[in-house]
Amino acid sequence: MSKGRLMNFAGSAAAFAVLASLAGPAMAQAGLSIELFKEPGFRGESRVYYGEAPTLKKDGFGAVAKSARVRGAWTVCRLSQYKGACSELRHDEPDLAKVGLADAIMSAKPAPVTQAFADPKPNPGYRGDFDDHRDDRGGFRPDDRDRYSQRPEPGSAAIALLISKHDSRLSDEARLAISQDYSGQRLTNRPGVWRVSAEKVACKSGKNAKAQITCTYDLGGNNSASVSGGDSEMMFRAMGDAGVRDQPLSEGRVLRTIYAVRCMVDDEIAQRSFSRGGSAIPGFSCQFSLN
């Protein structure tokens, strides 16, 4: 039986803050802590947080972190009190500059918890067969919009965006709309609901931290692509955000793979979210299997 995953929210940051005040370091053992370092590569002075930290400035860590060790999922923001642009960290980041967060984090708090199930149920964004709902532009009829979740799912936005870049089956209109949704730009054309799919996406890390990540896309038929560079690093991180575990390879390399990827992108929901990039954007939702 193939493994899927259904993301369910199971708590709140406020609840974790109460627990953290009672449990302290014990929370880290349960999988919830973030350690910020003043230098890349987990070097230099550091400080560990187990619950809500509305302002890091009072600890001398406001906008100075350059790397982070993460247990659990954490929301980090560019202003105190969780204001400004926020991002989600779900795994260690030896160089926060690569994700645009070096010297930028002013507040941090546990993100809503998600759980991955070894159950082949789809994510909330997927309802039925894609081909049942296509309109004449290759998108989806507006009256089918209630079939798709408005709740953002970690990793889905970047996964859908990057697959769309390499899928020659998509129209230029669809590809442009998805890019504008992701970057927070106003749509050039009328809104739609688009499908993005791939049979397999596999990303392999290099032998060391400086080596490039390479990703291969099997998009069905003879439609495939092999890429490296910034987009591959972005896909590798997105898979981690979505809960994909590393498969160890030789010489310290790791592989992350997803199969039967089915994503929906709803222009109207994404346009209302005012999001600009990041791990989770309303209107983007993906289903995939792990084998």
Integer angstrom CA distances of residue 3 from 55, 148, 215, 286: 40, 21, 21, 14
Q: Is the pLDDT of residue 236 over 50?
A: yes
Q: Which residue has the higher pLDDT, 147 or 284?
A: 284
Domain-located, residue 73: yes
pLDDT at 81 over 90: yes
Q: Are 196 and 265 in contact (CB under 8 A)?
A: yes
| Other CB atoms within 10 Å distance of the CB of residue 156 | 30
* 233, containing H or E segment: helix 230-241
Nearest by Cα to 60 from 27, 91, 28, 36: 36
Q: For the chain, what is the mean pLDDT?
A: 75
Q: Please tell me the total count of domains within the chain.
A: 2
The gap from C-alpha 27 to its chain's centroid, in whole angstroms, comes to: 24
Dump pLDDT digits (tens) for 170-195: 888 999 999 988 888 888 888 888 98
Those residues with Cβ within 8 angstroms of residue 109's Cβ, 6 or more apart along the chain or in another chain = 13, 16, 17, 51, 52, 53, 54, 74, 75, 82
pLDDT classification of 212: cutoffs 50, 70, 90: confident
- Decide: helix, strand or coil at residue 177: helix
44, 163: one domain: no
Same domain, 106 and 134: no
**Residue 121 domain-assigned?**
no
Residue finishing a domain among 46, 75, 110: 110
**More confident call, 270 vs 105:** 105
Q: What's the mean pLDDT in 234-251?
A: 87
Mean pLDDT of 236-244: 87
Instruction: Give the 3-state secondary structure of residue 56.
Output: coil
**Higher per-residue pLDDT: 137 or 267:** 267
Residues 195 and 137 in one domain: yes
Query: In terms of domains, do 96 and 196 share one?
Result: no
Is residue 77 in some structural domain? yes
**Are 260 and 176 in a shared domain?**
yes
Q: Are both 45 and 176 inside the same structural domain? A: no
Helix (H) or strand (E) holding 174: helix 172-183
289 forms beta bridges with: 259
**Quick one: 157 and 272 in the same domain?**
yes
pLDDT digits (tens, 9 = 90+) for 33-61: 899 999 999 999 999 998 899 999 988 99
- Residue 208 confidence (pLDDT): 64
CB 2 within 8 A of CB 260: yes
The pair of three-digit structure tokens given for residue 190, joined into one six-digit string: 């009328």
Q: Can you tell me the distance from the alpha carbon of 3 to that of 197, in angstroms, rounded to the nearest whole number?
A: 17
Mean pLDDT of all residues in 124-144: 39
- What value, to the nearest 5°, has the Cα angle with vertex 201 and ends 205 and 281? 95
d(CA 59, CA 80): 12
Find the length of the chain.
Answer: 291
Which position has the token pair 């899927």?
4
**Can you give the pLDDT at residue 130?**
41
CB 204 within 8 A of CB 253: yes
pTM for the model stands at 0.51
More confident site: 169 or 178: 178
Output the pLDDT for position 4.
38
Q: What is the pLDDT of residue 217?
A: 95
CATH code of the domain covering residue 58: 2.60.20.10
Range 189-207 average pLDDT: 88
Are residues 136 and 251 both part of a single domain? yes
Domain of 216 in residue numbering reads as: 130-289
Q: What is the pLDDT of residue 241?
A: 85
pLDDT in tens, 91-132: 788 889 887 888 999 999 987 643 332 233 333 333 334 443
If you average pLDDT over residues 69-84, what whole number do you get? 87
- Nearest residue to 193 via CA among 239, 160, 242: 160
Q: Which residue has the higher pLDDT, 280 or 12?
A: 280
